[in-house]
Amino acid sequence: MVSIAYMVAGLSSRFGGKIKALTKIGPNQETLIELSLNRAINAGFNKIIFIVGPSTQEAFKEYFGTRYKGIPIEYALQSFNKELREKPWGTTDAICSASHLIDEPCLVCTGDDLYSEETFNTLFNHAKSENTNATVGYPLIDHLPEEGLVNRGIFHIEDDFVISSDEIKEVSRENHQEKGLSHDTPANIGIFLIQKETLNKINQILNEFKETHKDNKIIECYLNVELGNLVKNQLAKIKYYKGKGQLLGLTNPEDEQIVREALKANI
């Protein structure tokens, strides 16, 4: 069994406070996450986990229930103490929220991106044939908006393996070279195939992170950074694959039409 876990715990203020993953955007009114699930299931993934938050769990359970196209669905709740924190602890906390449901290789990804069929096929095949972790990345320039500043995960690659990973803040098309980045710098797209042994190590890292930063209300523990730290300490290996196929996603309201048109063009 190879599971897939979607991080869908939050509402997006930039998207009008809606759940981007449940936006009906497909040619037959499929939601974004249904389109993603269809591709994942076709690749071979046979267990679904939704990492939900207090504001999204009811909507997902009502929409999907306990099965999708015969594949079992389980739910993990990512929550935080609002008296002590202003936001959740980040993507590391998201996957660790689901660790009690995972005993097999697990693909963790975002629910507001539509990854290509090639991406799902590549990572499923890796899970069936290798015992290392894996990820897919795209050139940075393909993963930057036309306008505005964003945070981006950046990979450093050697012999097709990740040797380190950083989170670079406030990157744009205009300033990325000033930050030492090029158009072709490998960028994280929020998707990782994680082995159970590595997930156990990440859990320990998160617990230590929370204790160290217990008085910081906004700091986040980034999954790509912590995986990179495990690699640097020779505690994990991450195979890197260059992305193939189109990567689509929803960030701002105007992205809806862009994604719809792109999907129509590929029918």
- Sequence ranges of the domains in the chain: 3-261
Residue 267, both tokens: 């029918």
Q: How far is CA 206 from CA 20, 108, 210, 212, in A?
A: 27, 16, 6, 10
Q: Smallest Cα–Cα separation from 250: which of 31, 57, 15?
A: 15
Q: Smallest Cα–Cα separation from 237: which of 163, 178, 170?
A: 163
Three-class DSSP category at 228: helix
Kindly report which listed range (36-45, 133-142, 249-258) carries the lowest average pLDDT score: 249-258
- State how beta strands 106-110 and 3-8 pair: parallel
Res. 17 pLDDT band, cuts 50 70 90: low
Q: What is the pLDDT of residue 136?
A: 98
Q: Which residue has the higher pLDDT, 266 or 68?
A: 68
State which amino acid sits at residue 121: N
Q: Which residues contact 228 (CB under 8 A, 6 or more apart)?
A: 155, 162, 164, 165, 166
Q: Alpha-carbon distance 33 to 114, whole Å?
A: 7
Residue 171 backbone dihedrals phi, psi, to 5 degrees: -95, 145
Can you identify the CATH homologous superfamily of domain 3-261? Spore Coat Polysaccharide Biosynthesis Protein SpsA; Chain A (3.90.550.10)
pLDDT at 218 > cutoff 70? yes
pLDDT at 57 > cutoff 80? yes
The arithmetic mean of pLDDT across residues 42-55, rounded, is 97
Measured over the CA atoms of residue 148, residue 149, residue 152 and residue 157, the dihedral's sign is positive
Res. 128 pLDDT band, cuts 50 70 90: very high
Q: Which residues contact 198 (CB under 8 A, 6 or more apart)?
A: 133, 227, 230, 236
> Above pLDDT 90, what percent of the chain?
79
Residue reference for tokens 């939704």? 50
State which amino acid sits at residue 243: G
Residue 74, both tokens: 């389980």
pLDDT at 88 > cutoff 60? yes
* CA 97 to chain centroid: 14
Q: What is the pLDDT of residue 16?
A: 63
The arithmetic mean of pLDDT across residues 92-114, rounded, is 96
Please tell me the pTM assigned to this model: 0.94
Q: What is the pLDDT of residue 145?
A: 79
Res. 97 pLDDT band, cuts 50 70 90: very high
- State how beta strands 71-77 and 47-52 pair: parallel
